[in-house]
Amino acid sequence: MRILDLIVNKRNGISHTVEELEWLINAFTKEQVPDYQIAAWLMAVYFKGMTENETAALTMAMAQSGEILDLSGLPGIKVDKHSTGGVADTTTLVLAPLVAAAGVPVAKMSGRGLGFTGGTIDKLEAIPNFNVMIDRNSFIENIRRHGLAITAQSASIAPADGKLYSLRDVTGTVESIPLIASSIMSKKIAAGADKILLDVKVGSGAFMKNWEDALQLALIMVSIGRIVNRETVAVITSMEEPLGLAIGNSLEIQEAIDVLKGEGSAELRHLCLTLGAHMLVLAGRVDEVNGGYRLLHELLHSGAALAKFAEFITAQGGDASIISNSQLLPQAKHTAEISLGTAGYIRRIESARIGHAAALLGAGRMYKNQPLDLSVGIILHHRVGDYIDSDQTVATVHYNDEEKLLEATEYLKPAFELSSEKPLKSPLVLGVVKYNSVDKYF
Ligand code: URA
Ligand code: CA
């Protein structure tokens, strides 16, 4: 086989066979083809797309480019959750203990941030002494004993995806539905999930900007799941404003604790309960989503989910007293209150801008492997639909460096779009996609 033939075929709109995709991913992983040819192939895929069967074959080839975790020795159905990426998306930190408290095992491999948003692993590092790199045996043992473990995704999981993503990032080929679908599904399959729950984000702050594209991405991932025998459900959710109110690693740990206490952002809480309820259904713990939602709501208000979070932190070496004393989390030296100088209803909060401003402070990465300042970030005080006066605080910036504060503030302010009329707010949960049904809630 020759890579040039595959590039030309894809350029001309001819579908690849399973064998061709296996060959391509294998050759790329072993560095037997140069990056420039893979880059050309990625651009051809970007323009010509892939069929469902091609996307499924690409997914399996990427999953098989490294180790495939076998969690079958653990009791119960392992359901993994993945979000296509959002700002102030602290769901994993709430969901994992919540679902584990309901008796459903959570075996989670998480990443560091892709692009400017912090990843779950970055956030967990804000907890003093917390070990994000527990070995395979402790990972399995902790799930057995505590029903929950989270570890950094090892380099041996779907290595082709990491290599491909780095190339996509610098060749303008990230926003391709078959490439996003295969990237996400390959990692989940390699990490040993029996079933997969996807949170597909749609809106100005997400890769998918409109319902049609989000639906297409959801449908292809759900159908890959069916083809490879890993039942997959996708919940499509709005990203027209940051999900929670905290952006920044330490601040998001604090926000997760607030939500686990039944306080904090109502939107974040509702989304966690909704996603968790779908996970309980997939795991066979409850028969229907409403029952799951009610059960998880009780576990939140009884304190059981928070107790599970404390148990999980302790099991991975961390200091669980952060739950009662947030001062033990990394604290920025200064805070600044931001107002806009104009009054009106908030029509939109541009998530990408907020994320970028937080990255400028040091909460996210501007380049690969950049060390983070876990203490800094942004707390939002308002949501879309709120009326604000010209001198009213819309955000508090937690910072350590005066120059970075100025830069971040300049970036932050235009994220708030105001209007003289109260805007209509779209619901947070827009739809649910299963292999045999699409439910639309708006
Ligand atoms: N998240 C992923 O893991 N991969 C993509 O390609 C996009 C979002
Ligand atoms: Ca101050």
Q: Which of 89, 184, 186 to probe ligand 1 with, by most ligand atoms within 8 A of CB?
A: 184
pLDDT per residue over 314-327, tens digit each?
999 999 999 999 99
Class of domain 330-419: alpha beta
pLDDT per residue over 259-296, tens digit each?
999 999 999 999 999 999 999 999 999 999 999 999 99
Thinking of the domain 3-49, which architecture would CATH place it in?
Answer: Up-down Bundle (1.20)
Distance CA 51, CA 224 (A): 11
pLDDT per residue over 122-144, tens digit each?
999 999 999 999 998 999 999 99
Q: Do domains 3-49 and 79-325+429-440 have the same CATH topology?
A: no
Distance CA 427, CA 171 (A): 34
pLDDT per residue over 342-371, tens digit each?
999 999 999 989 999 999 999 998 877 788
Q: Which of 207, 208, 213, 220 to probe ligand 1 with, by most ligand atoms within 8 A of CB?
A: 207
Domain range annotation of the chain: 3-49, 79-325+429-440, 330-419
Distance CA 44, CA 402 (A): 45
**pTM of the full structure:** 0.94
Is 230 labeled as catalytic in the residue annotation? no
Is 161 labeled as catalytic in the residue annotation? yes
Q: Is 62 in the pocket of ligand 1 (CB under 6 A)?
A: no
pLDDT at 89 exceeding the cut of 90: no
**Residue whose CA is at the smallest distance from ligand 1 atom 7:** 180
Identify the active-site residue in 122, 161, 199, 258: 161
Q: Which residue's entry shows tokens 């740990």? A: 253
Distance CA 357, CA 404 (A): 9
Q: Is 198 in the pocket of ligand 1 (CB under 6 A)?
A: no
pLDDT of residue 155: 86
Identify the active-site residue in 168, 201, 353, 382: 168
Q: Sheet with 334-338: list strands edge to edge.
A: 246-247, 377-380, 395-399, 334-338
Give the closest ligand to the alpha carbon of residue 332.
2
pLDDT at 118 exceeding the cut of 80: no
pLDDT at 88 exceeding the cut of 80: no
List Cα–Cα distances, 35 to 15, 168, 247, 280, in angstroms: 21, 11, 35, 42
Topology annotation, domain 79-325+429-440:
Pyrimidine Nucleoside Phosphorylase; Chain A, domain 2 (3.40.1030)
Distance CA 393, CA 341 (A): 10
Identify the active-site residue in 187, 285, 308, 365: 187
